[in-house]
A and B are shown apart, each in its own frame.
Chain A
Amino acid sequence: MKILKTWLEDYVNINQTDQQLDDMLTFSGTLVEDISRGLDPRIIVVRILEIKPHPNADKLRLVRVTDANKNYDIVCGADNIKEGQIVPLATIGAKLNDIEIQEALIRGEKSLGMLCSQKELGLGDNHEGIYILPNEYVLGESLCKYLNSDSVFELEITPNRGDCLSHLGIAREVAALTNQKIKFDDKISTDTKNKPSNKLKIEISDLDHCFAYGATVIRSVKIAPSPDWLAKRLIAVGIKPINNIVDITNYIMMDLGQPLHAFDKSKILNDKIIVRLAKDGEKITTIDAVERTLDDQMIVISDEKKPLAIAGVMGGADSAISDNTSEIILESAVFERRSVRRTAKLLRLTTDASYRFERGIDGELTVTAMRKAAKMICDIAGGEIIDETIDIAVENKNDFVKIENDKINELLGTKLENFKIDEYLKSLGFYIKDEMAQAPSWRHDIFVWQDLAEEVARLVGFENIPVSQMAVETAPKNSDYYYKEYLKDVLVENGFCEVFTYPFLSESDLKSLALKQEELLEVANPIQKENKYMRNSLAVGLVRAVAKNPTFDPILIFEFGNVLSVSEEKTHLAILSSGKSAKAEIAKCVEAICQAIGADKNIFKIQEFSRDDLTRYKVKKSNVFVCELDCAILIEVMRKNKISADFNLSDRVVKYREVSKYPPINRDLSFVVDKDCIADDVVDVIYETSASVLMVELFDEFVSDKFGENRKSVAFHIYLQDTQKTLSDNEADEQISKIVNMVSSKFDAKLRD
């Protein structure tokens, strides 16, 4: 939610800088996600004098603009501009989203600034073209004179704090954090002169879902655009101005958190408003011009004939304020949270109003909000209040919660005196009596003493909560986890690499892989079609990994993962090998596992993929073997044989290089080096020699007399890549010869033929 700092100042004094206010709010629970500092005054209003094609670029144009004193030549890519239009120009030095506008040479043409779109100015999402301004804006003036000149705070409001979805709400937080009282008069009275002959009647037939309803009748309003100050405030917090009446209802919502609605009274039959459950299948066209079908649990506002609005969600098009409206009914109500949430969800229509009702609004403010809006309407739209009806008003029904001072101090590790805790709570509007606290009417999230502890903690400040060490203790270490990790170490020791594959299957996977559907666990609501079914085997993922790694040969991989079916969830281990000695490699690995844990080889079934299968998985290699089994079987064997399952941490220093989206080139190099030479040192040197080296793998190392006395052979797979393009063979050769030279000189190495 967006909050305008100067708007907050209606209610509270702010002596803090934006950064201080950011920290204060963030570390008391209202996360500031972003601060936009308003428009730079160096963004000015200009008129387009002339548009010419750019001599060197089809899509660009040369635009001459004027600020009435001076002309500027600008290169511009947008195609919505015409000569004579008023547009925003970010002049040299202006900052736009932290980027400073500089004089630029664009395809050989000088550009003295930038014409801006709505989005670039942070005033909306429209990025389609340059923001065309109203003709009234004076040339040469800073745009911030007209639009958004103040700091706007973008806040993340957690679902429990509906009360913070307004400027008043945030002002209350600031007041509590800075020891102030908010400046807010909640006793606004209304004079209703000239009583109407027909008083408005309100009938609430569903008291379970409508807790309060107030309506004010205002006549002789004149529909017009809002005054500048009002439109500016709405724009700053992301609401588009429409007309004075609608804008005032939106303004009060952002101001006090109470959603309001205005009806055109002439469209309402017999001066009667009914709050009732909708009829199943009842239809209403909402102000967004969509026809909605309701069910019998949704609440509507209606007259004697037809629904006028979906309560708490959106008004109807028929009774909406139009340019011809002269008499309005202003509604301010409290609708039940769950009901509004249900309706908004079913209709897929979340509005600013429904969002607030769902989170709970302040029932004690309903009348005040209505009166403040009514007064504004009279002041701004020239109306006259002729009737005010308030049917049931809400009072604070929040529970009294015992203030467990000792428990609060124990939980927080603090030594706060009772009166201090009371003070913190009072500053947040709590009513304290006999060691009990009642949350104010705007809070709906205080039920237990722990909730009070949180309020205290966030005002005390987390930095003042003492850190407290945990005691050292022996861990049980008998979880299945340890057995799996032990097995992983055996696999890695034998050259196998751990992969995680995607646990979902799509409909097309089922077809292309000829998998059976019956036993598969199915997702009811996938938003991506890839996520339709859950895997019931790991082998599918592993063989696909082979297809994904065409540069690698051999491929030795394994995965531990859960496989799911309608009847059970099991953890599997799958091992896969491919390459010319794949069969021997996987057999050797299985043997190593058997030896490590004392298992019988027969529990492992090694299978070779057929050519047909491999084609289906898009694997070009042949010789692919897989072995998959239920991990529980292995763990049972390990427990029976009392294997002490544990693992050690790797001390390898990882230097990560980003993986290119372009394919790598693999080159193998063998060197003859001194017997004492450490292969890992050679790996490091190769890696450091060229940024094109993605990684280096030692794959062979042996001593033989044929290399000379005390000499050995070391061989490496070297993977080269370019992050910007496909690396060419020539470029790879160049890097390889650089590497050969470097290794030769550093290690007294000779390249083997």
Chain B
Amino acid sequence: MTKGHLHPTTQLIRQAVKFFETYGFDVYEGPEVDTEWYNFDALNVASDHPSRDVQDTFWLTDGRLLRTQTSNSQVRYGENRKPPIKVIVPGLCYRNEATDAGHEAAFYQLEGLYIDEKVKMGQLFWVLQELYKQLFGPNTKMRFRPHHFPFTEPSIEFEMKFRLKWFELGGAGMVHPKVISNMGLDPNKYSGYAFGPGLERAVMIKYGIGEIRLFRSGDLRFLKQF
């Protein structure tokens, strides 16, 4: 019997899940249709702040939205739990923008959240470095630079050197105290980190794929290669 094939994104998520298992992370998927509260307000993204412009949101006629980021699961997952909270959220997200070879209206992100007493920024750096070594090989180099997201403070963006080139992978940071409060936790006691890179991009870098729209094309010439 000839075996079938798993989608390359599935395979990448599996590798990530196995990596995080070692450090005690749960897996949660969260809803794709969500409220403004979980996707924006709970994450300290005020409705009148220019940072909302960055994300083109699909609004639904009933007032809800399609999540623009797996970060919608941060408060959803965190609000019913006591720290330590360790979870990864692989999931489909949506952006209301024109599609091209590098942009797709529906794409995967991998959220990670760790809330505990005395979480350090160095742990975030470490976990990202180790994750991408797992996904891309032991010689993978990472670098971090300051950035801004309303839901993390400090915020960072991270890049990976692969085959001599630097690639931007995504954003991360130390969870903003307002987000921790919105989970019903005391931000004076707890801190944490969160990250949320896109996954298609990582798959594309890994295999040298130039077209993101292949991922949802159903094209077997593409899928059967993995």
Contacts and interface: CB of A to CB of B under 8 A. Distances in A.
Query: Are A and B subunits of one complex?
Result: yes
Interface of A: 26-29, 31, 158-161, 337-338, 341-342, 358-359, 410-413, 445, 448, 450-451, 453-454, 457-458, 462, 465-477, 479-482, 485, 488, 491-504, 521-528, 531, 534, 541-542, 544-545, 548-549, 551-552, 555-557, 561-562, 564, 566, 569, 647, 649-650, 654-659, 664, 694-695, 697-699, 719, 721
A470 B146 contact: no
B27 A479 contact: yes
Contacts of A552: 220
Interface string B11-28: 100110110111111111
B221 to A, nearest CB: 5
B161 to A, nearest CB: 14
Interface string B117-138: 0111111011101000000000
A492 B6 contact: yes
A529 to B, nearest CB: 12
A467 B221 contact: no
B24 A494 contact: no
Given A159-B54, A496-B4, A694 B32 contact: no
Nearest to B21: A475
Interface stretch (B35-43, B68-76, B151-159): B151-159
B7 interface: yes
Contacts of B21: 475, 477
A491 B5 CA distance: 9
A545 B57 CA distance: 27
Given A29-B145, A522-B60, A658-B210, A495 B224 contact: no
Interface of B: 1-11, 14-15, 17-18, 20-29, 31-33, 48-51, 53-54, 56-62, 66, 86, 90, 92, 96-99, 105-106, 114, 118-123, 125-127, 129, 143-148, 153-157, 174, 176-177, 191, 207-211, 214-226
B146 A659 contact: no
Given A503-B92, A654-B207, A454 B154 contact: yes
Nearest to B128: A467
A473 B23 contact: yes
Nearest to B6: A498
B60 A497 contact: no
B35 to A, nearest CB: 12
A569 B33 contact: yes
B31 A569 contact: yes
B218 A410 contact: no
Contacts of B99: 528
A159 B146 contact: no
Nearest to A412: B121
A647 B13 CA distance: 12
A92 to B, nearest CB: 31
A31 B176 CA distance: 22
Given A411-B121, A527-B98, A557-B218, A457 B146 contact: yes
A475 B61 CA distance: 39
A498 B61 contact: no
25 contacts: A27-B146, A29-B145, A411-B120, A413-B121, A448-B153, A457-B154, A475-B20, A479-B27, A495-B3, A498-B7, A500-B215, A502-B106, A527-B97, A534-B33, A541-B218, A545-B218, A549-B219, A557-B218, A561-B92, A562-B92, A564-B33, A649-B18, A650-B11, A657-B225, A695-B224
B122 A491 contact: no
Given A492-B3, A521-B62, 18 more contacts: A29-B145, A338-B48, A411-B119, A453-B154, A454-B155, A465-B122, A470-B126, A473-B86, A475-B25, A481-B29, A494-B1, A500-B215, A521-B33, A523-B60, A534-B66, A549-B218, A649-B15, A698-B2
A506 B36 CA distance: 24
Nearest to A472: B22
Contacts of B153: 448, 450-451, 453-454
Given A160-B148, A479-B26, A500 B7 contact: yes
Top 6 nearest A-B pairs (CB, nearest first) are A473-B24, A545-B218, A29-B146, A158-B148, A454-B154, A468-B122
B192 to A, nearest CB: 10
B208 A656 contact: yes
A525 B92 contact: no
Contacts of B218: 499-501, 541-542, 544-545, 548-549, 557
A479 B62 CA distance: 30
A658 B1 CA distance: 27
Given A457-B154, A471-B23, A479 B28 contact: yes
Nearest to B94: A503
B179 to A, nearest CB: 11
B22 A413 contact: no
Given A476-B26, A500-B7, A654-B225, A413 B61 contact: no
Contact of B148 (A159, A481, A569): A159
A556 B92 contact: no
Nearest to B191: A411
B23 A659 contact: no
A581 B221 CA distance: 21
Contacts of B54: 159
A542 B220 CA distance: 12
A453 B137 CA distance: 33
Contacts of B15: 649
A358 B48 CA distance: 9
A474 B221 contact: no
A497 B9 contact: no
Centre residue among A338, A475, A494 by max chain B CB count within 10 A: A475
A161 B7 CA distance: 40
A410 B118 contact: yes
A523 B59 CA distance: 6
Contacts of B10: 485, 488, 498
A524 B61 contact: yes
B58 to A, nearest CB: 5
Contacts of B210: 658
A561 B140 CA distance: 32
Contacts of A491: 4
Contacts of A470: 23, 114, 123, 126-127
A406 B50 CA distance: 32
A410 B120 contact: yes
A589 B225 CA distance: 22
A499 B60 contact: no
A179 B153 CA distance: 25
Contacts of B98: 527-528
Given A525-B58, A564-B32, A501 B216 contact: yes
Contacts of A656: 207-209, 225-226
B2 A650 contact: no
A467 B122 contact: yes
A492 B219 CA distance: 17
Contact of B27 (A28, A482, A493): A482
